[in-house]
């Protein structure tokens, strides 16, 4: 059984069947010091298996500079026949060289800019960032900014950019976990402020969806760090739990991205949900905490057995429990992943399906795959 595919198929059934899905955040490259490698062939395969129409593509970090990697990105986008949308990457620390490279790539047809304050160790208050932001705003293009782990708060500097460059559109990656609490309450004051969902914590995505309008959220996977099937499972379950209608689903899953790369701000697609979207039963809070803990252990290269064992025990409820089928499917998924690890498979193959399973603990009213339920009684 392909556990991730099973949960993906069930979860996506909550979306209208005619939704066109575009991934707002993927990478290719082989020189990132973190050792993660991605290529366009693999990316397109992952997009195909998830039924996605296409994705933003940009280079991963490259200490050797970005002219050649940007040329590679352009070639990969051209070869994809419109399925891959190229974003240029620059290093603001190189000053005029970075601006020259940005101008070159805008002229070559790139449709956005990626900035990574962690990777290149710069501040969003850097004068070169302001020059770059002015250029992309004049060209009608968005900026995608790393707003995840490993950086100090950048919210105040981003707001200053938006206020000083009125036509600027900034997408904060990774659900803006570095600044969401600061920025969500003022999002209506800044029409150029957007967020992507490229993050593995379902609780963070639930927070984002709870407090930010659908027209400001872009579905994203961060492949090869993430995977379209995994990220779409989380996004589909959380947005469905929020009660999204057709317009809201369409906006988040691709419409907002298409508007921004075409030089338009997305249309209003409804308000954030007015009621809490997380389950009320304390059982699910405990279950998610244990599953989340197991994911953290895996990502740090540690043994998740104890955390997953606790999660497995939490699924043991009396016959007739309202969520018996959902909990049985989660238990069967944990058993399947434990058997996978025991068979010697690498933990990287466990983390992604486990992230999808963890999202089920926060969205127990969303669809459960029949084949996983069946496996729980076999």
pLDDT surpasses 90 at 342: no
Whether the bond into 224 is cis, omega within 30 of 0? yes
Confidence bin at 62 (pLDDT 50/70/90): very high
pLDDT at 152: 85
Burial 316-334 (b: 16+ CB within 10 A, else e): eeeeeeebeebbbbbbbbb
pLDDT of residue 371 exceeding 90, the answer is: no
Rounded-to-integer distance, Cα 289 and Cα 10, Å: 23
Contact in structure between 154 and 184 (CB atoms under 8 Å) = no
pLDDT at 224 over 80: yes
In the structure, what pLDDT confidence band is assigned to residue 278 with cuts at 50, 70 and 90?
very high
The string over 264-275, giving b where at least 16 C-beta atoms fall within 10 Å of a residue's C-beta and e elsewhere, is ebbeebeebbee
State residue 8's pLDDT score: 97
- Residue 377: per-residue pLDDT: 64
Percent of the chain with pLDDT over 90: 88
Contacts of 104 (CB under 8 A, 6+ apart): none
The mean pLDDT of 285-300, rounded to a whole number, is 94
What local confidence, expressed as pLDDT, does residue 378 receive?
60
Give percent helix, percent strand, percent coil of the chain, each to the nearest 5: 50, 10, 40
Average pLDDT (20-48) is: 96
Q: What is the set of domains in the chain, with CATH numbers?
A: 3-261 (3.20.20.140), 282-375 (no CATH)
Query: Can you give the pLDDT at residue 274?
Result: 87
In terms of phi and psi (left: phi > 0; alpha: psi -120 to 50; beta: otherwise), the region of 283 is alpha
Q: Using the predicted structure, report yes or no on whether residue 301 has a pLDDT greater than 60.
A: yes
- How far is it, in rounded angstroms, from Cα 236 to Cα 249? 8
| pLDDT at position 76 over 60 | yes
188-196 mean pLDDT: 97
Q: What is the pLDDT of residue 373?
A: 81
In this predicted structure, what is the pLDDT of residue 348? 62
Span 284-301, average pLDDT: 93
Residue 194, pLDDT > 80, answer yes
CA distance 277 to 226: 24
DSSP 92-127: GGGTHHHHHHHHHHHHTT--EEEE-HHHHT--TT-H
37-41 contacts at long range (C-beta below 8 A, 24 or more positions apart): 37/224, 38/223, 38/224, 40/76, 40/79, 40/80, 40/84
Provide the pLDDT confidence category of residue 346 given band limits of 50, 70 and 90: low
Mean pLDDT of 153-163: 95
Res. 343 pLDDT band, cuts 50 70 90: low
Mean pLDDT computed over every residue of the chain = 94
Q: How far apart are CA 37 and CA 17, in angstroms?
A: 33
Please give the Cα distance from 373 to 21 (Å, whole number).
Answer: 28
Tokens matching residue 260: 């921004």
CA 130 to chain centre: 26
Pairing of the two strands 193-196 and 22-23: unpaired
Q: What is the mean pLDDT of residues 290-305?
A: 91
pLDDT tens-digit map of 83-141: 999 999 999 999 999 999 999 999 999 999 999 999 999 999 999 999 999 999 999 99
């Amino acid at each position: 059984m392909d556990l991730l595919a099973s949960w993906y198929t069930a979860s996506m059934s909550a979306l209208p069947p005619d939704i066109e899905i575009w991934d707002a955040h993927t990478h290719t490259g082989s020189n990132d010091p973190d050792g993660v490698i991605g290529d366009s062939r693999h990316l397109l395969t992952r997009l195909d298996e998830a039924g996605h129409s296409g994705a933003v593509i940009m280079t991963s970090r490259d200490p050797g500079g970005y002219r050649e990697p940007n040329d590679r990105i352009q070639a990969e986008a051209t070869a994809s026949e419109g399925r891959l949308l190229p974003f240029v990457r620059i290093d603001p620390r190189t000053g005029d060289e970075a601006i020259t490279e940005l101008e070159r790539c805008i002229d070559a047809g790139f449709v956005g800019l990626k900035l990574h304050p962690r990777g290149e160790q710069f501040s969003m208050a850097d004068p070169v960032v302001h020059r770059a932001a002015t250029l992309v705003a004049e060209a009608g293009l968005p900026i995608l900014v790393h707003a995840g782990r490993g950086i100090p708060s950048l919210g105040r500097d981003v707001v200053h950019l938006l206020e000083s460059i009125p036509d600027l559109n900034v997408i904060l990656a990774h659900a803006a976990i570095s600044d969401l609490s600061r920025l969500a309450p003022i999002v209506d004051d800044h029409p150029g402020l957007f967020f992507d969902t490229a993050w593995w914590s379902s609780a963070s995505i639930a927070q984002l969806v709870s407090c930010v309008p659908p027209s400001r959220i872009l579905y994203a996977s961060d492949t090869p760090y993430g995977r379209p099937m995994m990220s779409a499972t989380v996004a589909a379950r959380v947005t469905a739990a929020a009660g999204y209608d057709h317009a809201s689903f369409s906006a988040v899953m691709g419409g907002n991205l298409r508007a921004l790369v075409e030089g338009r701000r997305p249309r209003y697609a409804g308000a954030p949900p007015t009621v809490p979207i997380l389950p009320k039963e304390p059982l699910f809070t405990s279950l998610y905490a244990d599953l989340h803990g197991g994911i953290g252990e895996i990502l740090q290269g540690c043994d998740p057995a104890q955390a997953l064992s606790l999660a497995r025990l939490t699924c043991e409820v009396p016959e007739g429990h309202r969520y018996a089928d959902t909990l049985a499917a989660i238990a069967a998924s944990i058993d399947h992943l434990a058997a996978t690890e025991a068979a010697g498979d690498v933990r990287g193959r466990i983390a992604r399906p486990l992230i999808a399973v963890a999202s089920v603990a926060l969205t127990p009213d969303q669809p459960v795959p029949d084949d996983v339920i069946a496996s729980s009684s076999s």
